[in-house]
């Protein structure tokens, strides 16, 4: 089965695939979801599985990078 549910306006990525893409564990994603300060995009549930909107994830990653650049954390 395809790892990403495709739709022209916004692909959905399952939690295990997103964890692998970000280089973190599935548990870390759960922690980010539980911590409001992380502002991690909310998933949708399909048949008891979590899926994340690709557009939301990319926006979150961009915001984190911008914040790191402003704070001088990234050279």
pLDDT one-digit tens code per residue, 36-58: 999 999 999 999 999 999 999 99
State pTM to two decimals: 0.79
Above pLDDT 70, what percent of the chain?
Answer: 84
Say what the pLDDT of residue 75 is.
57
Per-residue model confidence (pLDDT) at position 71:
85
* pLDDT of amino acid 8: 47
Q: With both helix axes pointing from N to C terminus, report the angle between 15-22 and 26-34 in degrees, rounded to the nearest 10.
A: 100
- Burial-class residue 12 by CB neighbours within 10 Å (0-12, 13-18, 19+): buried
pLDDT of 25 reads 98
Hey, what are 20's tokens? 């692998």
Q: What pLDDT sits at residue 1?
A: 45
């Amino acid at each position: 089965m395809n790892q990403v549910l495709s739709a022209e306006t916004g692909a959905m990525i399952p939690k295990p695939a997103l964890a692998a893409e970000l280089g973190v564990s599935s548990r870390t994603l759960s922690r980010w979801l539980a911590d409001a300060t992380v502002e991690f995009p909310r998933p949708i549930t399909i048949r008891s599985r979590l899926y994340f909107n690709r557009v939301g994830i990319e926006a979150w990653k961009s915001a984190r990078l911008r914040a790191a650049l402003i704070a001088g954390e990234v050279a």
